[in-house]
Structure formats: structure tokens, C-alpha cells
Amino acid sequence: MSIAGLRRPAEAAGGAASDPLADWRAAGEPFYLPSGDEIAAFEAAHALRLPVLLKGPTGCGKTRFVEHMAWRLGMPLVTVACHEDLTAGDLVGRWLLDAEGTRWHDGPLTMAARHGAICYLDEIVEARPDTTVVLHPLTDTRRMLPLERRNELLRAHPDFQLVVSYNPGYQGMGKSLKPSTRQRFTAIDFGYPAPEHEAAIVARESGLPSETAQALVALAVRTRRLEADGLEQGASTRMLVHAGALIALGLAPRAACLQAIALPLSDDPDLTVALRAAVEASFA
């Protein structure tokens, strides 16, 4: 689960006893530079409590966008990083045995629905299909969550909103959302920002001067062109920020780009040669 920008229990006014979502409230504004009308689109969906699907490549800013919108709307944000071992019990909750006996423990989805938060399921297609079915009653007019193990029908808090994200590139790997799930969401499309916007983001997040940030973006553009030659995905904005942070710390630009961009992107020998050449061309 994401903890960046979140208030720790000791810092939360009143603590978890008075606010069960205290740990999930942003302590400050997460930086986000809009590239279109995505803020207005999300605000409109939130006003109607419509579920939202964020589509875009890995590392293009989807998670940061959700964090920024939660702060902007004054909402707690409960984030779940989905994976293939994620079960319905992980999302909904389960009975636990402790020194005082058996007690029910709400999962993150139940906690958000019960108390009123944005629940963000990151990379939803990584979860098993039978797990995502549990979302269906929450994403239509019923807005309820059956807790069969607890014998409870939980009606979602009026402030609850569900947001999920996924990378459409996963479809080539046999991973996609079922139409019965997809059609319950409104969708916002994300891509990599325009070069000038991306350079501004990299400079702001890494502390680099504008010229170096622009060179990193130029490198990213070169790597993204390699997708036509078999590269699964070019350098993400996140990778550029990582490289920029290494450079700002004193690492040579070429070494930083090899470490944070070229080497993580591919193990294919031919593609690795091409990526190294792109680094050399960007930082000759």
C-alpha cells in the first residue's frame, strides 16, 4: 500500500480511535502537473460518486494523480497494490484469532466503504478475476458490499468512491478486464506528458536543472521509439525521476541513466545495446 504523503498515526489529530481513516489522510499536497482536463473529469465523477478507471502506461502518473485528487477533495485515500495472489478476503476482510478471542478485521475495501474514503486499486488486472467480482455490487446503483463471512450487508458510506487503474499494454500479455467489470466504470485516459510538461515534472521531482531534465526526456522519447522494435515499454516518467535523483546526488548522467533506465528496461542483448546507444546519444 502506498504511504507516500500520508500522515502517521502519531501525527493524526485524535488518532485512529476517533478517525479510523487517520492513517490515510494526506499530510500535504502531492505535486501533480495536469496535462489536460483530467482534474475536471475526476471531480465530476466524484461529485456523482461514479467509479473511475484510469488507463495508461506504467509510471505515467496515475497513482500520483489519485493522491493529488484525494488531497484536493479532502478525502482519505486507501491504496491497494494488486497482485496475482490477492484474494477477496484480502480486500474484504477476515476473522482473526488473538488473545481475546475471534474478531473481525476489515480489509482495505471494506474499511473505505464503511467509513467513507476513496479506495484505489492499483493495476487491477494483476488481481485474479474471481477477486474483482467482489467489486460489482459497489460499482452500480446498489453501492453495497456483501460480507458473507460476517453475515453483514454493508451499504457504502455516502463519501465512498472506487478508483482502479491498469496498463492497457497488459492486454498483449493476456491480462485484461472483463467487460462485465469494465463497463461499470467511467474512464480517464493517461499517457506520457508532452515533452515540456514531462521535463518540468522531472525537474520539480528530482531537483535537476531544466536543461538536464530536458535531456532525460529526450532519452525517454528515444526509448519509446524502440517499442516498434520489440521493447515492451519505453522509459516512464517515474524512471526519469529516479535517474534525475541519482544525477542530483552526484552520479554521472550516463551512469545514472544506465542504472535507472537502460538496464531495468530490458534483458534482451540487442535491445540493451540499443538502449545504451540511446543513453550515449543523449549524454555524449
The CB-side HSE value for 254 (13 A sphere, CA atoms) comes to: 9
Chain-centre distance for alpha carbon 73? 17
Can you give the residue ranges of every domain in the chain? Answer: 9-189, 195-282
Torsion-angle region of 116 (φ positive above 0: left; ψ -120 to 50: alpha; else: beta): left
Report the pLDDT value the prediction gives residue 13, as an integer from 0 to 100.
41
Give Cα separations from 132 to 86, 139, 266 (angstroms): 10, 11, 30
Q: Which three cell numbers stand for residue 122?
A: 492499483
Give Cα separations from 83 to 32, 135, 197 (angstroms): 26, 16, 31
> Residues 109-145: pLDDT tens digits?
999 999 999 999 999 999 887 788 899 999 999 999 9
Number of H helices, E strands in the chain: 13, 9
Residue that has been written with the C-alpha cell 481475546 in this structure:
100
Report the pLDDT value the prediction gives residue 130, as an integer from 0 to 100.
79
DSSP code of 185? S
Residue 39's DSSP bridge partners are none
Report the pLDDT value the prediction gives residue 8, as an integer from 0 to 100.
34
Check whether domain 9-189 has CATH 3.40.50.300, yes or no = yes
Report the pLDDT value the prediction gives residue 99, as an integer from 0 to 100.
82
Which residues of the chain fall short of a pLDDT of 50?
A: 1-16
Q: Which residues of 155-177 are buried (b: 16+ CB within 10 A; e: fewer)?
A: ebeebbbbbbbbbeeeeeeebeb
- Rounded CA gap, 104 and 118, in Å? 22
